[in-house]
Amino acid sequence: LIIIQVVLNCLLLFAKENKTTMVSFKASQLLALLENTDTGLIVTDFGGKVLYANEYFMDLMAVADSKDIEGTDFEKWISKDHLADFRTFTAAAIELGVRKNSEFYFVAADKKTMALEICSLRSTSEAGTCLQYIARDISRQKLIENRLREAKEKAEESNKLKTAFLANLSHEVRTPMNAIMGFSELLLSDNIPQAHKEKYINYINNSGAVLLNLIDDIIDIAKMQSGQLAVKKISCDLSSILYDLHSSYSQLIKTQKGDNVKLMSEGAVPRGRIKLMTDPLRFRQIFTNLLNNAIKYTDTGSISFGCNYDAAIEGKRLQFYVSDTGIGLSQENKDAIFDRFYKIEDDKLKFYRGAGLGLTISKNLVSLLGGNIWVESEVGKGSRFYFQFPIEDAFISISERPETKSEIDYSMLENKKILVAEDEEINFIYLDELLKRYKAEVIHARNGQEALDIVIADSSIDLVLMDIKMPVMDGYEATRLIKDQRPSLPIIAQTAYALAGEKDKIIQAGCDDYLSKPIKPISLFKLLSQFLVAAN
Ligand code: ADP
């Protein structure tokens, strides 16, 4: 700092002595020194007019000619937000003689903003009174600092959220467990009226579903973190997916909210027919996450969902929405809700259950499927979630009628011979009960080898429900060998499907489709209806 001050003083002195003639040899050397340093040097009078700026500073300010900077107010180059601080800094330099290392943002002629660290020296030599500034470009350092700060804050926030998540998780697990264990115990008591029994069983069922959902979400989050969550796009009929969702959710909303919340159906399903290249399971999961939230956070009014079909017709992106008239979201929470474990906890509002995973999973799934997701919302008025996919993933045919059929024709099961390969007795009893209700004939194989032997011996088997993990011969092997014998016999795998890649392995083994355990009756019958046809 002192050296630069001496150089500047000498220069000013030489310049003063040689006002009209060329600057002397010594002065020109000093000037060369000042011009070639990688530090900005500026001299102003006490009024702030620039008397001199070296080439480095001119470069920083994106000016080519010294005339464009000399004679200007130095303040002109300071960012407006920093002007007041800069004036205080300069006043202190005039009063105290020196001010060191303050950071200010400057705005160059090309509007680029940069951070400079400034020192200021008051000079009252023979050359006259002036202020000398030394400026160091710290933009890069500032950028790194800001990134580090953001990363640190994010890590701290993430750690805080993780801790809150673990505390919350215990609550989320214990609440349904409490119901399951409590009502199971009650069921064992004597003389419970039938109506009460049904109510208890319903509680147990619902709590089981809540637990299962939580386990699925945790597995999905773990897969996402390890980069193992994969999607497989196939051509799907969009109308039938939306119809299915509509029929299950109108029922669910009615049960949970009575007449207080209505599911608006208008426009939910496209008028024409759209085939969408997507992963049907994951596509449905995005909708169910958003719809479950809409139900959770809406006590009165309406919920609607569907496809913005017109945008697709116009060749834009294929857009979907889920909208509600519920509690809504503040501006601040709108982005944060897509973060892992983020849950809005407001003691003044009622307590809402949830682990804060659904939207993170939805966001990841939408992005894996090549789209994006966002929300528009206002506190107290409701929220509208949107997600969209590239139009290239959709095939639209307007002339065809949409597929409206979502009813299952249970007569398809009458007199059909279904082989259930299952080593767990309890799982077999469940499937046996379900299938026999609709007059199917059920045959039991306890392992893959038995299943193979039965298929070879009995050519009238119509379909196989194949467990994968079985003793003696597993489901993969049995499927391969059965398909060698009877390639057209439909085989549906039934699996716990938790491990990455299992789905692919099942399909590669030759299975026509698969069902995830626990198997819901509706999913079983829907899938069976794709492979079995009613006799008449
Ligand atoms: P959670 O299991 O807690 O619902 P999500 O990831 O699905 O987890 O949602 C994160 C948070 O976003 C929720 O805790 C809730 O505060 C807010 N949120 C999500 N959907 C809605 C909605 N439709 N209306 C209002 N708030 C919502």
Nearest atom (ligand 1) to Cα of 327:
25
Per-residue pLDDT of 278-311, as tens digits, reads 888 899 999 999 999 999 999 999 999 988 766 6
Edge to edge, the sheet with strand 301-308 lists: 261-264, 301-308, 318-324, 382-389, 372-378
The percent of residues above 70 in pLDDT, for the chain, comes to: 86
- CA-CA distance, 387 to 181, in Å (whole number)? 39
Nearest atom (ligand 1) to Cα of 324:
23
Which two tokens mark 211?
């637990």
Q: Which residues line the pocket of ligand 1, CB cutoff 6 A?
A: 293-294, 297, 324, 326-329, 337, 342-344, 354-360, 383
Distance 391 CA to ligand 1 centre (A): 28
How high is the pLDDT of residue 106?
Answer: 95
Which of 173, 359, 362 has most ligand 1 atoms within 8 Å of CB, for mutation? 359
Distance 475 CA to ligand 1 centre (A): 40
How do the residues of the chain divide into helix, strand and coil, expressed in percent and rounded to 5? 50, 20, 30
How high is the pLDDT of residue 21?
Answer: 46
Nearest atom (ligand 1) to Cα of 385:
23
Distance 173 CA to ligand 1 centre (A): 18
Which of 291, 332, 337 has most ligand 1 atoms within 8 Å of CB, for mutation? 337
Pick from 181-185, 261-265, 531-535: least confident: 531-535
- Which of 215-219, 294-298, 399-403 is modeled with the greatest confidence? 294-298
Distance 346 CA to ligand 1 centre (A): 12
Q: For residue 128, what is the enclosing H or E element?
A: strand 128-137
From the list 156, 128, 126, 123, the residue with the least C-alpha distance to 4 is 123
- CA-CA distance, 462 to 532, in Å (whole number)? 8
Protein residue with least CA distance to atom 20, ligand 1:
293
Per-residue pLDDT of 60-75, as tens digits, reads 999 999 899 999 999 9
Sign (positive/negative) of CA torsion 281, 283, 287, 289? positive
Amino acid 408 reads: I
Q: What is the mean pLDDT of residues 324-341?
A: 85
- CA-CA distance, 365 to 276, in Å (whole number)? 15
How high is the pLDDT of residue 534?
Answer: 64
- CA-CA distance, 121 to 1, in Å (whole number)? 9
Distance 288 CA to ligand 1 centre (A): 13
Per-residue pLDDT of 487-530, as tens digits, reads 889 999 988 765 656 777 888 888 888 888 888 888 888 888 88
Distance 254 CA to ligand 1 centre (A): 21
